[in-house]
């Protein structure tokens, strides 16, 4: 009997095969049921604590809301399929908590769908139903490892589901049975994948190109084969191109470095270790080794169609450009999912091939001579490396245990209290956009809950926005959270919070790509002047700018001027717009019946991003260069701002205080009079941006900017810190509208 006739395709033959097929069907439903329990029990457990799971669902819900209301200011998800899923929910209810509770159920249904189509692909590939179960279980473990259930990566789920089903249809009706009319169905599924997540669809397109080249080889140029390739590949390629054109016209450019451009940078590996699936980096980095070992040691196998043996190599080859060129380095863990497709098929193939090879002499009726007893062992040699690797890495206890731990952890990690959502729902009946100040990045759920256009301010690192108008509004919102007036000079924003804030703290912000960075701050509360009163040389008095002076605030076309006055000291602070994006902060002082003994000026990086310093030594007065990048998990965009100081009538030094952990870095300038004491003098700090300015500098005031951006509401989460609460409590332009459990909500007061 030839190899291809060995009847181990359970359920495909009558008699015993049919009985086995019935048992296989029962086993399928049993395993699917157990898998459903494994998926939904953690969801129910987390939801029973009164928390909501994930946040990305709100992006789909917001886009669905835009589809129905024809609004254009809210966040719009760049692909339409997932938002369309939420349109029926929008038609039924506008309760944000209700839809948030349904969202993880949708994620679970998509995960079950992945299990089913993974089973279908494994069954078509091997011809055995029970082998398809092994493959499906392996493929569907990946989303649990990669915590996608936690952050609601539903678009990637759906795109994968379409892509795997397209592969299964390409293998069986099109390739094996020659039913080319099914090619259109394959193309439509790939189009659905592209409309769900083009990044995922690109992987399946590359895999199918490789697969078709391998199975057709020299016959690829025949008319029928070219037709199959064209119908399969051109519609999804056209869809991806049209999406790129449409999104390019409505979104800003995103700075995104591919893996190949940064893998030589040793600094990314610690960041990647933090990013990857809750520190399961060692386990996941073995997956490429396992796949490579399997592909290199493959021997002749049995498939329903011998051309199917090209599928696993095609999936592996497609993963290489996907990983190196199409995946931003910050998302390299997501690219690892695609390895689970060939790994799942490997498991299915080994589950079928090993019993066949051991049983082949018996099935063929060929006695095994004593001197040939090692024949089976020789046939198994090509399996030694992959099987040992699979046993070592993919042991059920490790695989399921690690996935379970990650899965439970991600559901908890990405959850947030229902109250945080429901307490903003009353804003759905109001007008105007919302400035949202919170320590966490929950802007999109807040936007969905409030029905407002929501823009983030400090202290959290801003999330990714896509439209230029949204990015501009985020700039305004973040600067507004710091103070009432500011100077913008290209990429540098210098904020003066007076007179709105009782403890003034100018901040400097930089913008690049779609992210806003808070870089440097000249904190008035840290500027100390020590005076020696006349006639009492042994008594020193230290004045801090925020210590209850009388304050006069002025603005002209190029400067923000604040005058502080005490009984024996006056200080004039001038924030001035210079050329080429340079902003200067001048501190001029004058005393009566006293002399200045020391003057301390501090420039701090006020954010929690990694910061380093180059240039400048403790024995000089600057310049000092502060360089910072995004925190791990984001595309590494460095900024190098140079801070220098010049003084009139004083000498001094600059001290760099390095950051440790999340502490901000700072440059401290300590200055002393050149001889004895002085009654007047000045120090000028110049901050040169590390990014060339792209727009002319301007002086901006809070009120007209708020009105132009329709920012009529401010929600300050109480956990953000007292400085943000005080900033709006002490500003007469904002009225406290609601004091909820988690928020203080303010309304603008232009009266």
Count of beta carbons in the 10 Å neighbourhood of residue 129: 21
Query: How many Å apart are CA 130 and CA 391, to the nearest integer?
Result: 19
**What is residue 364's predicted lDDT score, i.e. its pLDDT?**
47
DSSP 8: -
What token pair was written down for 167? 């592969």
Comparing 51-60, 456-465, 508-517, the range with the smallest average pLDDT is 508-517
Contacts of 137 (CB under 8 A, 6+ apart): 31, 35, 115, 344
Tens-place pLDDT, residues 220-269 = 878 888 899 999 999 999 999 999 888 777 665 555 567 777 677 666 66
The pLDDT assigned to 394 comes to 58
* Window from 1-5, 299-303, 384-388, 728-732 with minimum mean pLDDT: 1-5
Its pTM stands at 0.78
Q: Are 504 and 497 in contact (CB under 8 A)?
A: yes
pLDDT at 537: 61
Q: How far apart are CA 24 and CA 8, in angstroms?
A: 12
582 membership: H or E segment, kind and range: none
* Beta-ladder partners of 716: 437, 744
- Closest to 685 measured CA to CA, from 620, 605, 622: 622
Instruction: Determine the pLDDT at residue 513.
Output: 43
DSSP 260-292: HHHTT-TTHHHHHHHHSGGG-HHHHHHHHHHHH
Place 367 in a pLDDT band, splitting at 50, 70 and 90. low
Highest mean pLDDT among 178-182, 658-662, 743-747: 743-747
* DSSP one-letter code for 182: G
Q: In this model, does residue 10 exceed pLDDT 80?
A: no
Sheet with 680-688: strands ordered across: 550-555, 559-566, 569-577, 583-591, 680-688, 639-648, 624-628, 611-614
Q: Please count the CA atoms within 13 angstroms of the CA of 224 that sit on its side-chain side.
A: 8
- The answer to whether 215 and 310 have CB atoms below 8 angstroms apart is yes
> In this model, does residue 280 exceed pLDDT 90?
no
Predicted confidence (pLDDT) at residue 158 exceeds the cutoff of 90: yes
In the prediction, which pLDDT does 15 show?
A: 38
Residue 245 neighbours by CB under 8 Å, 6+ apart: none
Sign of CA dihedral 177, 179, 185, 186: positive
- Measure Cα distances from 721 to 459, 547, 725, 743 in Å: 9, 21, 7, 12
From 94-108, 122-136, 390-404, 492-506, the region with the lowest mean pLDDT: 492-506
Q: Is the dihedral of CA 340, 381, 379, 355 positive or negative?
A: negative
Where is average pLDDT lowest: 157-161, 170-174, 529-533, 604-608?
Answer: 604-608
Angle at 210 between CA 204 and CA 213, to 5 degrees: 135
Which range (2-6, 17-21, 59-63, 232-236) has the least confidence? 2-6
Name the average pLDDT for the chain. 78
- Of the pLDDT bands very low, low, confident and very high (cuts 50, 70, 90), residue 397 is low
pLDDT tens readout for residues 420-453? 788 998 998 888 889 999 887 778 888 888 888 8
């Amino acid at each position: 009997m030839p190899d291809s006739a060995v009847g181990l395709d359970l359920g495909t033959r009558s008699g015993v095969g049919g009985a086995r097929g019935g048992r296989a069907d029962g086993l399928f439903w049993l395993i699917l049921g157990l898998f459903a329990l494994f998926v939904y029990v953690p969801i129910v457990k987390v939801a029973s604590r009164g928390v909501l799971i994930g946040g990305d669902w709100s992006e789909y819900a917001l886009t669905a809301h835009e589809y129905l209301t024809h609004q254009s200011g809210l966040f719009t998800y760049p692909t339409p399929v997932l938002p369309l899923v939420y349109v029926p929910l929008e038609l039924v209810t506008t309760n944000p908590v209700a839809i948030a509770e349904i969202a993880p159920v949708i994620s679970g249904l998509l995960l079950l769908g992945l299990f089913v189509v993974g089973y279908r692909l494994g069954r078509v590939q091997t011809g055995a139903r029970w082998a398809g179960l092994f493959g499906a279980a392996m493929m569907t473990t990946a989303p649990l490892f990669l915590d996608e259930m936690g952050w609601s990566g539903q678009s990637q789920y759906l795109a994968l589901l379409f892509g795997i089903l397209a592969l299964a249809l390409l293998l069986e009706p099109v390739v094996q049975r020659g039913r080319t009319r099914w090619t259109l169905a394959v193309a439509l599924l790939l189009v659905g994948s592209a409309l769900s997540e083009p990044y995922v669809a690109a992987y399946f397109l590359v895999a199918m190109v490789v697969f078709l080249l391998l199975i057709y080889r020299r016959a690829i140029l025949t008319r029928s084969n070219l037709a199959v390739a064209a119908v399969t590949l051109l519609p999804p390629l056209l869809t991806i191109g049209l999406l790129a054109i449409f999104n390019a016209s409505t979104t800003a450019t995103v700075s995104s470095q591919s893996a190949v451009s940064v893998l030589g940078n040793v600094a990314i590996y610690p960041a990647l270790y933090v990013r990857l699936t809750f520190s399961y980096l060692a386990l996941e980095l073995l997956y490429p080794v396992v796949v490579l070992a399997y592909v290199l040691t493959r021997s002749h196998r049995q498939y329903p169609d011998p051309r199917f043996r090209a599928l696993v190599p095609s999936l592996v080859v497609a993963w290489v450009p996907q990983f190196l060129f199409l995946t931003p380095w910050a998302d390299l863990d997501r690219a690892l999912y695609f390895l689970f497709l060939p790994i799942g098929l490997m498991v299915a193939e080994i589950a079928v091939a090993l019993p066949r090879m051991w049983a082949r002499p018996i099935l063929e009726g060929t006695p095994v001579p004593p001197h040939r007893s090692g024949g089976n062992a020789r046939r198994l040699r090509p399996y030694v490396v992959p099987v040992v690797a699979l046993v070592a890495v993919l042991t059920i206890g490790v695989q399921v245990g690690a996935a379970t731990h990650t899965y439970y952890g991600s559901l908890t990690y990405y959850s947030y209290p229902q109250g945080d959502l429901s307490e903003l729902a009353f804003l759905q009946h109001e007008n105007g956009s919302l400035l949202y100040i919170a320590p966490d990045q929950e802007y999109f759920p807040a936007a969905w809950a409030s029905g407002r256009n929501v823009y983030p301010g400090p202290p959290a690192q801003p999330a990714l926005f896509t439209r230029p108008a949204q990015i501009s509004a985020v700039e305004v919102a973040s600067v507004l959270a710091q103070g009432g007036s500011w100077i913008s000079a290209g990429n540098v924003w210098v904020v003066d919070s007076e007179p709105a804030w009782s403890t003034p703290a100018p901040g400097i912000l930089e913008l690049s790509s779609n992210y806003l960075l808070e870089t440097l701050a000249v904190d008035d509360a840290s500027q100390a002047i020590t005076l020696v009163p006349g006639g009492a040389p042994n008594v020193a008095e230290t004045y801090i700018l925020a210590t209850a002076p009388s304050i006069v605030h002025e603005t002209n076309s190029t400067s923000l001027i604040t005058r502080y006055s005490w009984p024996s000291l006056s200080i004039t602070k001038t924030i001035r717009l210079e050329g080429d994006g340079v902003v200067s902060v001048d501190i001029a002082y004058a005393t009566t019946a006293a002399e200045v003994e020391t003057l301390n000026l501090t420039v701090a990086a006020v954010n929690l991003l990694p910061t380093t310093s180059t240039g400048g030594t403790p024995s000089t007065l600057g310049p000092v260069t502060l360089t910072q990048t995004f925190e791990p998990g984001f595309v590494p965009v460095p900024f190098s701002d140079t801070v220098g100081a010049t003084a009139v009538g004083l000498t001094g030094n600059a001290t760099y205080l390095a950051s440790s952990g999340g502490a901000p870095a700072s440059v401290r300038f300590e200055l002393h009079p050149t001889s004895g004491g002085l009654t007047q003098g000045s120090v000028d700090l110049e901050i040169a941006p590390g990014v060339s300015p792209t727009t002319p500098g301007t002086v901006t005031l809070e009120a007209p900017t708020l009105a132009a951006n329709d920012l009529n509401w401010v929600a300050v989460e109480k956990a953000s810190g007292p400085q943000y609460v005080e900033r709006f409590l002490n500003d007469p332009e904002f009225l406290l509208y609601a004091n909820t459990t988690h928020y203080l909500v303010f309304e603008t007061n232009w009266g």
